[in-house]
Amino acid sequence: MTENELRTQESIRHVEQVDQNVERHQAMNLDEKKQGIAAFNQNSTVARIVNIVYFLFGTLEVLLAVRVIFNLISVNPENGFARFIEDLSSPFVTLFASLLENPTLGATGVLEITTLIAMLVYAIVAWLLARLIWLTLSRSH
């Protein structure tokens, strides 16, 4: 074999090796992209679940805030809407009801400190639950 032929064969082997390396690199990039897309899809689902948790607890917080305001300004307890708010919020406040005495304001107004404490506790529970869901179900890219 001549020196020219050897160089040609060596050049051909080099080109083949480069082609194999490029194909391998492209396959690795494709796998990484597929994994990234799968992680993104899973994280989108987890984010939706976390948002649902925040929505539910946020709704509870609004309900409890309305209860505090109604008791503070002493709305008519015989009113249907006021009774509805009181009945709906009672199960969430019962655990905290005997924690301390709620002070009265004026003739009939009551500052429900126990409900404010309940709101704080539920906000912390919501945050902890959301973090737990995110940490256990989310994937890194």
- Print the domain residue range for 133: 3-137
Banded model confidence at residue 17, pLDDT cuts 50, 70, 90: confident
State the alpha helices, DSSP H only, in the chain.
3-72, 80-93, 113-137
Tokens of 54: 């925040």
Query: What digits encode the pLDDT tens for the residues 62-109?
Result: 999 999 999 999 999 999 999 999 999 999 999 999 999 999 988 889
State residue 14's pLDDT score.
Answer: 73
How many domains in the chain? 1
Whole-Å CA distances, 37 to 34, 40, 91, 134, 141:
5, 5, 43, 18, 8
